[in-house]
């Protein structure tokens, strides 16, 4: 499943509202913080399954 732009913006707002940093989120999902940043800046797509 790929996330659409509205879903990404919603997740970003929720992350910011809870005070979660990209680094914290990256650690929680076992990804690089740069990957999280690129995803929130619409420079890449992530599926709900890590390959």
Residue 2 CA to residue 18 CA, distance in Å, equals 23
Confidence band for 42, pLDDT divided at 50, 70 and 90: confident
Residue 25 in any domain: the answer is: yes
Residue 51 in any domain: the answer is: no
pLDDT at 45 over 90: no
User: Which residues face 47 on adjacent strands?
Assistant: 2
Residue 9 in any domain: the answer is: yes
- For residue 35, the tally of other CB atoms under 10 A from its CB is 15
Residue 41 CA to residue 43 CA, distance in Å, equals 6
Residue 45 in any domain: the answer is: no
Say what the pLDDT of residue 1 is. Answer: 57
Return the residue matching tokens 């979660």.
Answer: 20
The predicted-structure confidence for 3-36, as pLDDT tens digits, reads as follows 788 888 898 999 999 999 999 999 998 989 998 8
What's the number of domains the chain is made of? Answer: 1
Residue 28 CA to residue 18 CA, distance in Å, equals 14
Task: Give the residue numbers spanning the domain of 10.
Answer: 5-40
């Amino acid at each position: 499943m790929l996330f659409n732009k509205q879903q990404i913006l919603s997740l970003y707002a929720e992350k910011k509202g809870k005070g979660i940093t990209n680094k914290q989120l990256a650690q929680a999902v076992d990804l690089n913080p740069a990957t999280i940043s690129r995803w929130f800046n619409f420079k890449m797509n992530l599926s709900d399954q890590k390959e």
